[in-house]
Homo-oligomer: A and B are copies of this chain.
Amino acid sequence: MDTLSHVPPGFRFHPTDEELVDYYLRKKVASRRIDLDIIKDIDLYKIEPWDLQVKCKIGTEEQNEWYFFSHKDKKYPTGTRTNRATTAGFWKATGRDKPIYSKNTLIGMRKTLVFYRGRAPNGQKSDWIMHEYRLEANDRLHA
């Protein structure tokens, strides 16, 4: 793949949570240039998990993890609830969000989601797991 042509042989994309948030996500949000176009933009709610594999392929190797950027889709234009449904099913959060630190500073959070086929509140749980990373704003109001 073209984007990998300037990474030397022997290197694999195995980013840490800190690198994903502090480098890739932070740059993306600030619309700053990312050295290597390795993380694709997709609309996660217009794509089924099993179709991600083709769109988010890195190089020629077998992968069982894929990375992508996607915008959050609001359920209602004025609301804060997130719509995580695709045509075939929906993504549902599971467990607690995990804090991501750089040294001792909280820089982001990681949410884990599971894909269910069908429609909430029913649906059939699948083996597809997704981690959603978000930046944690460090601007605080003290009073």
**Interface on A for B, CB 8 Å cutoff?**
7-16, 19-20, 23-24, 34-36, 38
Contacts and interface: CB of A to CB of B under 8 A. Distances in A.
Number of copies: 2
Given A8-B36, A10-B19, 16 more contacts: A8-B34, A8-B38, A9-B15, A9-B24, A9-B35, A10-B13, A10-B14, A10-B15, A10-B20, A10-B24, A11-B12, A11-B13, A11-B14, A12-B12, A12-B14, A14-B14
* Interface of chain A, main secondary structure: loop
26 contacts: A7-B8, A7-B11, A8-B34, A8-B35, A8-B36, A8-B38, A9-B15, A9-B19, A9-B23, A9-B24, A9-B35, A10-B13, A10-B14, A10-B15, A10-B19, A10-B20, A10-B23, A10-B24, A10-B38, A11-B11, A11-B12, A11-B13, A11-B14, A12-B12, A12-B14, A14-B14
